[in-house]
Structure formats: structure tokens, C-alpha cells
Structure 1
Amino acid sequence: MEAAKATLVHYVLDPRASRFTVQAFATGLLSAVGHNPTIGVRDFSGEVSFSQEALQGSGFRLSIKTTSLSVQDDISDKDRREIERLLNEQILETTKYPETVYEAPVLSITRMGESLYSAVLDGNLTFHGVTRKQPVAARIAVFGTMLRASGNFTLEQTDYEIKLISIAGGALKLKDELKFSFEMVAREQE
């Protein structure tokens, strides 16, 4: 006799209750006076299916509107506007690449405790018009009809054909590495 198949529960991200940031790192002669900008992602959506019983997850998809990125640091309005202009026009080229998408058809899930899990996503990230494999590890907690996932990952901008920006003749520039951090809340959908 076959055991009843565990049901996958469909969850949809709640962007108002979620946080997603990108940290860039300064280098060069003037890096001590520069700063490591933190960029907030304001407009994103996503979904995933997950079964606590079967330790199974599938269909994770995250979509980000690239024009929704904004500097979160405590800097002057003039500096904020200039960084965001460079980000949109020269770095991300948001008119040409308005969306970034991460898709992982299958998630590897491990139980860590009561309603606590570890997940490994081996998905594809389409960023700046380039699609590459991008592993992401996450910690997951399920509370009733709410799922909370958190973690971080890094990537190299040049892997996605993004130009590294330098200011003041190269005396201040950003490193290739970006660190992404997330605290996502998703709610069960019928």
C-alpha cells in the first residue's frame, strides 16, 4: 500500500514584510573616504511550493524590477541621486534590462528542527541579460500559514557583464564582488 503523497503548499512572497539588500564594496586609494553602499530592493515578487512532510520544495521564482533599487545609506541627497543615476544608467542599464529573475525548479530541503529547515537552491539567475547557475542557501522557518526564508550569497559583477565603475580617475572604485542578503516572508495561498 502506497503512503499518501505529501501535499506541496503554494506560498507567495509578501514584499512589504520582506527585506532584500545588496552590499557593494569600495576599493582604491580613496576607499577609506568612500563607502560601501547598501542598495535596497523595493519592488520584487516571488513564489515557491513547499512540503514540510516530504521535505520537498519546487518552483521557486523571484522577479526583481531593476529600477526599484535605491541607496539605503545615510548620505547626502546629492550623493544618493548620483549613485542611483550611475546604478540605473551605467551599471545595471535598467532601460535595457528592466528585470532580474532567479528560478530554481527544485529545492533540496533538510529538516533542522521543529518547523526549521535548511534549503539549497541550485537555480539560474538572469541578471543584466546574462543567465548563469547561482546556488543559494537559505534557512526556512514555517509558522502556520507563513514561511520565512533568510540567507545571503555573493556574485561577481563581471560574470554578468556588468562594468565596474570607478570615480576620480580610478582612485575610488567598486570591487567585483556583491553580497546579497535576504529575509523573505511568504504566505500560503489557496
Structure 2
Amino acid sequence: MYAAILIGLILSIMPREGSIKSVFLTKNAEFTLFSEAPIENIEAVSKSGYGIINIENGEVQFGVSIRSFRFRKSLMQEHFNENYMESDKFPAAKFKGKINTPIDISKDGEYSVIVTGDLEVHGITQKRSVPGTIKVSNGQLEINTVFDVKCRDHQIKIPALVFKNVAETIKITLKGTFSTVT
């Protein structure tokens, strides 16, 4: 099923005419969640996110399976999936948007960008403008971004009993190396 979704996303973002060399893909983007709270900091990492970037029209799509995040403690992972994110009901987080800065893929360099679009987490979609960098190097794109997500913006409930364990605002880091679709 994952492969079918990925193929559908690639086809939806590909240019109707022109060079396929303007479409870049990764299937192993790294997403990190970080919660800084008084009792303990919590970090989780997924290295199986996907991303598609169409440089020609600026369209981007990113996504990650919620269950793919790994925590230091198995109990944290269980609570994350069952109590907070409800992974069975909301299996993925997704972003679809547009790069607001032109990128010249014909020469190596680093670009500061703002990507504007829709972030869907926990079944709730919010408009977002996310800063980041895109580095063009040897025909590949390296992307990096760090942004915050407020739990309440996506109706993720943090029980009062654990408010000192889980932050209301979660820092998200996304890193990935993208290659052209061939």
C-alpha cells in the first residue's frame, strides 16, 4: 500500500510537460520530534519519511507514518501511538505545499526558502509557512527544516496528569537527501 501511495504522489506532482529531471524524491527522510518538559525531554526519530519536490513548479509533499517513530523507552512509544497520536485512526502526518523561492538546480548552492502549505497531523489540517534550506549538490537536493507544532492546533490532548512530562509545543526537524526520479 505504501508503494501505491508513493506512486500516486509522484504522479500528482510530476510536471505535465517538460523534464522529469525537475522532480526529486526521497523514501528515507529523517523526521525528529523533540519535547522539552520539566520532568524529562522526549525525543523520537523516524528514518522512513517520504518527500517529493518538483523544482519546476515549486510543489512539495512530505509524509511520515506515525508508527515509524522510535523512542528511547518502549512505554513512551506505546503512549505516543495509543494515547496522543491515535495512530490506528490517524496513521500519517502529511504536508503539501509550495516553495516560495526559485531554486536553480543547474548549479550547486544553498538556498534559504519558505514553504507554504497545509500540514495535516492527527486528522487536523493547518496552514503553515515553514522556513528551511535546500542545498543543491551534485544533482541532488539536501533539505533541512526545523519548526514547531502546537499540540492543541491539531487537537492532540495532553492529560493534566502528564503536563510536566510532555511539552505543549513539539519541535520537528526534517532532513533528507533527494534524487531525481528516473
Superposition TM-score, scaled by structure 1 size: 0.77
1:69 to 1:130, Cα distance in 2 relative to 1, 3 A: same
1:108 is aligned to 2:100: yes
Structure 1's 189 and 171: CA in aligned 2 closer, same or farther, altered over 3 A? closer
Unaligned runs of at least 5 residues, structure 2: 1-17
TM-score by length of 2: 0.80
What RMSD in Å do the two structures reach over aligned CA positions? 2.3
Q: Distance in 2 between matches of 1:102 and 1:92?
A: 16
Is 1:37 aligned with 2:29? Answer: no
Between Structure 1 and Structure 2, whose CA radius of gyration is higher?
Answer: 1
Check conservation: 1:137, 1:151, Cα contact below 8 A. yes
Aligned to 2:24: 11
The runs of 5 or more residues in structure 1 that have no matched partner are 1-5, 52-56, 74-79
Which residue in the other structure is 2:85 paired with? 92
**1:107–1:155 CA distance, 2 compared to 1 (3 A):** same
Offset of 1:189 from its aligned partner?
1.4
Measured after TM superposition, the shift of residue 110 of structure 1 is 5.7
For residue 51 of structure 2, what is the aligned residue in structure 1?
Answer: 46
Percent identical across equivalent pairs? 17
Query: CA distance change for structure 1 residues 154 and 14 in 2, over 3 Å: closer, same or farther?
Result: same
Q: Distance in 2 between matches of 1:152 and 1:171?
A: 23
The structure with the greater share of residues assigned to helix is 2
Report the equivalent of 1:77. none
